[in-house]
Amino acid sequence: MILSDKPGFATGLPVAGNGCFSRKNSAGRKTYFIILFMAQSSFIELCRKRVGNAHVISVPEKMASYVTDYRKRYAGKALAVVLPGNTREVADLVRLCKQYRVPVVPQGGNTGLVLGSVPDTSGKAVVLSLARMKRIREIDVKNNTMTVEAGCILDDVHSAALEADRMFPLSLASSGSCTIGGNLAANAGGTAVLRYGTARDLCLGLEVVMADGAVWDGLYKLRKNNTGYDLRDLFIGSEGTLGIITAAVLKLFPRPTTRQTAFVALSSPADALQLLAIAQKVADSSLTTFELMSGYSLELVVRHFPHLLPPLPLERPYYVLLELSGTEPEGQLGERFEKLLQYAIEEGVICDAALSQTVSQSRSMWALRENISAAQAKEGKNIKHDIAVPTSLFAEFIETTDRQLQQYFPGCRTVTFGHLGDGSLHYNVAAPKGVSDDAFLMRQDEVNRIVYDSVDRMQGAISAEHGLGALKHERNAEYKSDVEIRMMRKIREAFDPDNLMNPGKVLP
């Protein structure tokens, strides 16, 4: 008989070598469940003492929103949901979880799409929500930095930056509900990566609670710091498997005083690549956004949101939304934009274009792009892919993968849109007409294999922005080398030897 070394409650009960309690008699089982219940009750009571009774939820009905994923397709179970109010309380809770061997699932806005911030169905884990930790600790205008807690909503960070006459450029469709901690844990991208980079590029320092409850204060406000391993980069994109991000130092930028948007019609993704090259040459650093959208994706938007009117007839297979911004006089930016579009038309790269003249027109163009995901949801279920390939192979990926999918699933409909400027794409596949969504979803593994094999052939990545979570971690291991997986495992074991930090995510 040995003591269990698996995540769960440290009850001290003897178990068989296979990790299971003996079932030789009902009295033994009854004793086990009584002691387990007592241990759970004791643990939850200790959580209440650390964060207050009002900030511990253990009633299943009240936990529902915390254990259900953003798309409402999956629901896990949790022992409890705890909402600490500061870093000290996070550290206390993590130490308590280590003592009782309770897995911890960190959660921000729960807007992820890969089951990275929801628990499994065992009911053993605690969801540690950072929703109460939303203070903006400091704005250093002269240093162009902002120090915020992990639970800050992205839109609130945008507003605080604007009040200081600055800008934080991370731009996501979920900005009204996603949090900075989640953005960093997933290394979020968005529509401005082309100019400003991903969440990783927009962060200078972190505060992190480690798996043993120790607090790492790495809230550096430095743009140069070569004093050892870059620990910050380990935590960004780790999805809470190495530690819990509790605060971050973010980069701020001068607030653009001029901004202009164009909606452009094209014949193919290859033409979009040519337009990108022209835009980078003519607009240089003022090119902020370059978004590719298939005609079908925009048809869905107009169908389900008829008040959103495209500035051009939807008669072409592809469209691009591109935006320039800067601090130069508005007339100069407009002249540069007109020159860019005129040159592209003369070269036969674009079919037609509409250039915004007002802020309202620009917002209307953006509304088309930002409502593609919502329109898909209204249309029905689909198989989502968040992939990245080298920008130079973007057109080849779309054309090749479209053709392969049609061979195996004739009539399937692809909703293609994404950030062509940085090589990432949302490539979603819906059922052919006449085939039910549920029947098509039964073929999801086959669809994924076609898409991901195509990505792999082009030396791409099966996750560009959303992370791996529990949804993609096993599939990802198929496309990584043994050396890479081994290094990742060693890092995780070094930071979390008990495997209590968001287990079942990132690595299989």
Look at residues 144, 360, 94, 108 and name the one whose alpha carbon lies nearest to residue 251: 144
Q: Are residues 158 and 225 in the same domain?
A: yes
CATH number reported for the structural domain that contains residue 388 in this entry: 3.30.70.2740
Single out the residue in 91, 113, 131 at which a domain terminates.
Answer: 131
Read off the pLDDT of residues 308-322 as tens digits, 9 standing for 90 and up.
999 999 999 999 999
Q: Is residue 155 part of a domain?
A: yes
Same domain membership, residue 195 and residue 167: yes
The answer on 304 and 206 residing in a single domain is no
344 located within any domain: yes
Statement to judge: residues 357 and 447 lie in one domain: no
- Structurally, the chain folds into a number of domains equal to 4
With respect to residue 346, please indicate whether it lies within any of the assigned structural domains: yes
Residue 46: inside a domain, yes or no? yes
- How large is the average pLDDT for residues 265-281? 97
Can you tell me the distance from the alpha carbon of 474 to that of 485, in angstroms, rounded to the nearest whole number? 11
- Tell me, what's the pLDDT at 355? 95
Partner residues linked to 56 by β-bridges? 82
User: 250 and 186: one domain?
Assistant: yes
CATH of the domain at 182: 3.30.465.10
Tokens 């936990």, residue? Answer: 63
18-27, 307-316, 385-394: segment of lowest average pLDDT: 18-27
Question: Do the domain assignments include residue 436?
Answer: yes
Indicate whether 367 and 301 sit together in one domain. Answer: yes
pLDDT band at 278 (very low <50, low <70, confident <90, very high): very high
Read off the tokens for 362.
């620009």
Q: Which whole number is the average pLDDT over 283-301?
A: 95
Of 353, 374, 395, which marks where a domain is finished? 374
On whether residue 505 sits in a domain, the answer given is no
What is the band of 72 on the pLDDT scale with cuts at 50, 70, 90? confident
Q: Is 241 helix (H, G, I), strand (E, B) or coil?
A: coil
Range of the domain at 461: 380-490
**Interacting residues of 365 by C-beta distance below 8 A, sequence separation 6+:** 261, 262, 263, 311, 321, 354, 356
Instruction: Name 21's bridge partners.
Output: none
Does a structural domain hold residue 405?
yes
Residue 80 and residue 173 share a domain: no
407-438 as b/e: b if 16+ CB within 10 A: eebeebbbbbbbbbbbbbbbbbbbbeeeeeee
Contacts of 444 (CB under 8 A, 6+ apart): 383
Given a cut of 90, whether residue 41 has pLDDT beyond it is no
Q: What angle do CA 494, 497, 503 make, to 5 degrees?
A: 110
Asked if residue 14 has pLDDT above 90, the reply is no
329 with 410, same domain: the answer is: no
For residue 151, name the pLDDT band (cuts at 50, 70, 90). Answer: very high
Which of 374, 402, 425 is at the close of a domain? 374
| pLDDT tens-digit series, residues 465-506 | 999 999 999 999 999 999 999 999 999 999 999 999 999 999
Rounded distance between C-alpha atoms, residue 151 and residue 406, angstroms: 43
DSSP H or E stretch at residue 265: strand 258-266
Quick one: 74 and 119 in the same domain?
yes
What is the pTM (predicted TM-score) of this model?
Answer: 0.89
165 and 244 within one domain: yes
SS3 404: helix
